[in-house]
Amino acid sequence: MNHIPDEDVRKDVPPVSAPALPARAEGGIPELWNMAYPLIISMAAATLMQFVNRVFLSRYSADALAACVPGGILSFTFVCFFLGTTMYTNAFIAQYYGKKKLASVSIALWQGVILGLLSWVALIGLIPAGLWIINNSSHPQQVKVLEVEYFTILMAGGGFGILNAALGSFFTGRGKTKVTMLVNLGGNILNILLSGLLIFGLGPIKSLGITGAGYAFVAGNLFMTLVFTLLIFSRENRELYRTSRLMRFHPRLFMRLLKYGLPNGVGFFLDVASFTVFFFLAGNLDGPSLAANSILATINTMAFMPVLGLGMATLTLVGQRVGQKRHDIAEKTVYNAIRMTICYVGLISLFFFLCPGLFVNLFGSPDAPQYAAILEKSRRLMRILAVFVLFDGIGIVFSDAIKGAGDTRFQMMTASLCAWLVFVPGSYICVYVLHTPLEYVWGWACVYVFLLALIFWLRFRSNKWREIDILKH
């Protein structure tokens, strides 16, 4: 059956719309904050999990620390295409929810889940390509061995993360971000506990090192998949959204999800792939640069993950308002999100600039000979990172705003062209032609994120996003 049952709120169940807000409060910071803070906490928990895992690995061995970031980034590069495509389920659910079309919310959810399952199969088929990249890098052989182990585990279990993007959209798209927060907190806490246990071992449990960190990550994602599934099939959701009765393939909606989700996935992939190339290029300078680059990548993740949460809240609210045909409220939401972003990243940048050792010294003792050069180089880079996170945060929010309205093709083209015509060639020239220090390579990265932020701001101001209708048959 190709018809989507777009009925309004059913009369035999309680209304699903949020309590009405005063006109001046709609699109305001309080509304945005209520939507965003659970997502920010979710992202912060994921950041803390990655941060703790890498600190654990730095205490286990310097080689494990050097291997975990390239191996992790490479696996995420492959995952992110499928993740970005499946994640766009959130925009469909948000707009259907804004229209109060409950059956369509459920059908959109299951198209995302089907896409996630198909993506998992494709992801496993890409493992040999990743192994080829690792084995042909110039990293030390002992680091390559660890990268291969970590990468293979993350790829084999990567489907759970993709499924969670679709399953979590059922809650995030409707503004139920506290549910997403609690599920993510549970999964990340389990990850941290298992990571410490499996990396170092305890009693009869053998120390597995970086392999244990990979197993712990997959276990945390599996836990989240199971909990999301149980909640979706709760009695309330089965009655209100008919989540079990509408669990089927819908060709027309699936193709619409691909139409708007694929550009999102392609843009996400090419953006992340450019950073993967960047990290591999920067790591080829020398041994301390590879380790310092891993430290800086970890700290950068800690800084921008909460901005991703705010960006997801912006995408959701823009989607709901566009579904209601209230574009002015959507615009108000976006500019309030930018104000919040500038306040947050401005504070983080100040700490990075004034107190770089506060973050860097967590990865080893400055008095230890093997860490002294690495930490000194990392402290110098932190001041450049302070500039990077500021423009990166602004670009993320404007990018998510236009994606929430369906402007995914422009986002894909812009991110791709800037990444592969500006960022990657410039990084290559810095490393292999000019042989500049790592500080100059990261300085070029700052130019790249500034350019993205500027272009996405100008696109949002153009109001092209107001003309797009992703739900139109």
CA gyration radius for the chain?
22
Position 339 pLDDT exceeds 60: yes
**What distances in angstroms separate CA 348 from CA 354, 390, 405, 424, 431, one per listed residue?**
10, 9, 29, 26, 28
Position 333 pLDDT exceeds 50: yes
More confident residue, 353 or 84: 84
pLDDT, tens digit (0-9, with 9 covering 90-100), for 386-401: 889 899 999 999 999 9
d(CA 248, CA 246): 6
d(CA 180, CA 166): 12
Contact 191, 219 (CB under 8 A): yes
Beta bridge partners of 202: 205
Average pLDDT value for the chain: 85
Closest CA to 180 of 294, 93, 76: 93
**What distances in angstroms separate CA 20 from CA 23, 26, 388, 449, one per listed residue?**
9, 9, 39, 38
Percent of the chain with pLDDT over 70: 89
Burial 335-361 (b: 16+ CB within 10 A, else e): ebbbebbeebbeebbeebeeebeebbe
Q: What is the mean pLDDT of residues 250-262?
A: 92
CA 403 to chain centre: 14
Contact 404, 314 (CB under 8 A): yes
Position 421 pLDDT exceeds 70: yes
Position 155 pLDDT exceeds 80: yes
Identify the weakest region by mean pLDDT among 1-5, 29-33, 271-275, 465-469. 1-5
The residues, ordered by sequence, that sit 6+ positions from 101 with a Cβ below 8 Å of its Cβ are 4, 6, 7, 8
Position 19 pLDDT exceeds 60: no
Q: What angle do CA 276, 271, 167 make, to 5 degrees?
A: 100
Regarding pTM above 0.85, the answer is: no
Widest distance between CA atoms in the chain: 71
pLDDT, tens digit (0-9, with 9 covering 90-100), for 86-133: 999 999 999 899 888 888 999 999 999 999 999 999 999 999 999 998
For 92, other C-beta atoms within 10 Å of its C-beta total 28
Contact 270, 416 (CB under 8 A): yes
Position 228 pLDDT exceeds 60: yes
The residues, ordered by sequence, that sit 6+ positions from 415 with a Cβ below 8 Å of its Cβ are 267, 268, 270, 271, 399, 452
Confidence (pLDDT) at 370: 57
SS (H, E, C) the chain: CCCCCCCCCCCCCCCCCCCCCCHHHCCCHHHHHHHHHHHHHHHHHHHHHHHHHHHHHHHHCHHHHHHHHHHHHHHHHHHHHHHHHHHCHHHHHHHHHHCCCHHHHHHHHHHHHHHHHHHHHHHHHCHHHHHHHHHCCCCCHHHHHHHHHHHHHHHHCHHHHHHHHHHHHHHHCCCCHHHHHHHHHHHHHHHHHHHHHHHHCECCECCCCHHHHHHHHHHHHHHHHHHHHHHHCCHHHHHHCCCCCCCCCCHHHHHHHHHHHHHHHHHHHHHHHHHHHHHHHHHCCCHHHHHHHHHHHHHHHHHHHHHHHHHHHHHHHHHHHHHCCCHHHHHHHHHHHHHHHHHHHHHHHHHHHHCCHHHHHHHCCCCCHHHHHHHHHHHHHHHHHHHHHHHHHHHHHHHHHHHHCCCHHHHHHHHHHHHHHHHHHHHHHHHHHCCCCHHHHHHHHHHHHHHHHHHHHHHHHCCHHHHCCCCCC
Confidence (pLDDT) at 48: 75
Q: What is the mean pLDDT of residues 403-414?
A: 90
d(CA 120, CA 79): 9
Contact 88, 109 (CB under 8 A): no
pLDDT, tens digit (0-9, with 9 covering 90-100), for 295-324: 777 788 777 778 888 998 999 899 889 888
Confidence (pLDDT) at 45: 79
Percent of the chain with pLDDT over 90: 42
